[in-house]
Amino acid sequence: MKRSSICSALIVLSMFCSAEVPYEPKLIQRDLLIIAHRGASGYLPEHTLPAYRLAIDQGADFIEPDLVVTKDRQLVCLHDVSLSRTTDIAEHAQFYDRQRRVNGQLDWFVSDFTLVELRQLRTRQAYGARSSAHDGMYEIPTFQDAIDLVRTHNLGANRPVGIYPELKATDFFSKVDVPGLLLDELAANGLSEAKNMVFIQSFDPNVLRLLRSMTELPLVMLLRSKSDLQPSTPNIALADVIPFVDVIGASKHLILGPLGEDTGFVASAMQYGVPVHAWTVRDDAVHVAYRSVHSEILALQEVGVAGLFTDFPDTVVRLLEASKP
């Protein structure tokens, strides 16, 4: 994948309307990708088809499904390998004996359930300050469900939407060829070429190094802060991952220092010709240096990020539209 083609991507938006948030994105051009983090998860339970659909309606360029693996080796969209945080598993007495302890955590784990069994669960809002009005309404979707949703939208759409999967907890699924499952599913859907609107992301450099030899799709190395005491220092040095990735997905705390200052991280990445996508912009969790999420977004844009992961896609879309002449 040519890095220059990623840097120069211009996404065209068309008009969509949401019943949840009545807003219509205007037809504009922008060079800042809006990546719907777990869907429009600020409004609806994360990693559900309605959350993905709402994100598309709000003007997101990509939906971002986290992927884990079921007992029967199906890719499903969940952030955690455990189930209690985002589902009603505790209310299903038939599964009570599946609870076990892993690394000190007592929970139910997705790898102990088949897809048919997981379909019996319903999702719930994981953040207490956000609306729980949709708890108990939606199933856990498969990766194929997410692909089908995007494909249906893109049929005849003026504004195509891409998919930005993350391989989660690959060490937990060490006995499963998770990268292979992902590439097989993408191939089966005609999504194996660099021209397709697909990014693959991971926190695991070994997984991305393996994928580099298997696919031409752009790969995204996710980097976090080394520690709370070193928020602007990445947990892995840029130079160690640049040879096998196309994009850096960086915590916003690597990009904006404790006082909101530019740390130089984006400039350092761009010296290698690698764009940076920042995570995560949230209306209800703004960087401590800023009074509003709008100020945070503008600061990230000013230092040169090429994309934003956000739980509230409409907030970013509105701000970008307002800043257009």
Residue type, 306: A
Q: How far is it, in rounded angstroms, from Cα 322 to Cα 274?
A: 28
Backbone phi and psi for residue 241, each to the nearest 5 degrees, phi listed first: -115, -20
State the average pLDDT over residues 57-66.
98
Could you read off the pLDDT of 91-104 as tens digits, one per residue?
Answer: 999 999 999 999 99
Nearest alpha carbon to residue 32 among 321, 240, 225:
321
Q: Is the pLDDT of residue 21 over 50?
A: no
Q: Which is more confident, 50 or 12?
A: 50
Choose the CATH number for 3-68+140-322 among 3.40.630.30, 3.40.50.150, 3.10.310.10, 3.20.20.190. Answer: 3.20.20.190
Nearest alpha carbon to residue 206 among 165, 241, 235:
241
* Side-chain-facing half-sphere of 116: CA atoms under 13 Å: 1
Burial of 78 (0-12, 13-18, 19+ CB in 10 A): buried
Q: Is residue 167 a contact partner of residue 208, using CB atoms and an 8 Å limit?
A: no
How much of the chain exceeds pLDDT 90, in percent? 87
Preceding peptide of 123 cis, ω within 30°: no
In this structure, which long-range contacts are made by residues 283-292, counting pairs with CB atoms below 8 Å and at least 24 apart in sequence? 283/42, 283/311, 283/312, 283/315, 284/42, 284/127, 284/129, 284/130, 287/252, 287/253, 287/256, 287/260, 288/258, 289/256, 289/257, 289/258, 289/259, 289/260, 290/260
How much of the chain exceeds pLDDT 70, in percent? 90
The pLDDT value recorded for residue 325 is: 67
> What residues does each domain of the chain span?
3-68+140-322
Q: Is residue 201 a contact partner of residue 177, using CB atoms and an 8 Å limit?
A: no
Nearest alpha carbon to residue 267 among 300, 299, 304, 236:
304
State the average pLDDT over residues 175-195.
96
pTM attached to this predicted model = 0.91
Could you read off the pLDDT of 205-220 as tens digits, one per residue?
Answer: 999 999 999 999 999 9
Number of neighbours of residue 154 by Cβ within 10 angstroms: 14
The pLDDT value recorded for residue 157 is: 87
State the DSSP string of 241-306. HGGG-SEEEEEHHHHB-TTS-B-SHHHHHHHTT--EEEEEE-TTS--TT-SSHHHHHHHHHHTT-S
Locate the DSSP E strands across 81-215. Answer: 100-102, 105-107, 162-163, 166-167, 200-202
- The overall average pLDDT reported for the chain is 91
Q: Is the pLDDT of residue 261 over 90?
A: yes
State the average pLDDT over residues 5-27.
38
Could you read off the pLDDT of 105-159 as tens digits, one per residue?
Answer: 999 999 999 999 999 999 999 998 999 999 999 999 999 999 999 999 999 888 9
**Any bridge partners for residue 202, and if so which?**
221
Q: Is residue 36 a contact partner of residue 49, using CB atoms and an 8 Å limit?
A: no
H or E segment at 115?
A: helix 115-118
Q: Is the pLDDT of residue 26 over 80?
A: no
Residue 209 token pair: 């190094």
Residue type, 185: E
